[in-house]
Amino acid sequence: MPRPQKERKVQEPPKIQGMKPIGVPGQLLDKVVLLIDEYEAIRLSDYENLDHQKAAEKMGVSRPTFTRLIDKAHKKIAETIVGVKDLIFEGGNYSFIRNLVRCLDCGIVSAIEKNDSKFNDCPKCNSTNVVHLNKWFRNGQRCGKGSGFGGRHGRGKW
């Protein structure tokens, strides 16, 4: 049995569940699964421009582990762009530091405390038509060392 992996710290859920190529019928596409901890590696290193050491500290992993994570993430993203595949964000071993809520009426996204499930009103328009983005990903946790490539995804809701 491999040693159980420590949960990686992820700042907040991705704001979307994945991305699709434009110009190809969706049913023809294979998918690539980007694990949530791989997504976080991209966010910290390529988006926030942190060096690998600082990014590793943010996620609570060693620098070599971080480098492996981001290498995998880059390969998967290249596979989606060049190989023309759906990119799905799910799975991995992580816990969110905070959660995000999107208002479905005005569209703004608010950050909330992780355990604040009582957040139900949009701070901008007071709508109660809000979605907690962490819920998208709850069931995807611990799906293991992700067979990241290939396969068609069965979800039709895009």
Please, what is the minimum distance in Å from the beta carbon of residue 119 to Zn ion? 12
CB atoms within 10 A of CB 84: 13
Minimum CB separation from Zn ion for residue 129, in Å?
A: 8
- Site track for Zn ion across 117-146, x = CB under 5 A: -----x-xx-x-------------------
Judged by CB, which is closer to Zn ion: 67, or 127? 127
Distance of closest approach, residue 131 Cβ to Zn ion, in angstroms: 11
Using CB under 5 A, pick the residue from 94, 103, 133, 134 that binds Zn ion.
103
Nearer Cβ to Zn ion, position 11 or 127?
127
Q: Count of H helices and E strands in the chain?
A: 4, 8
Task: Please give the angle made by the CA atoms of 59, 139 and 94, to the nearest 5 degrees.
Answer: 10
Our CA angle for 151, 152, 154, nearest 5°, is 135
Q: Of how many residues is the chain composed? A: 158
CA separation for the pair 112, 68 (Å, rounded): 30
**Is position 101 an interface residue for Zn ion (rule: CB under 5 A)?**
no
The CB-of-22 to Zn ion minimum distance in angstroms stands at 28
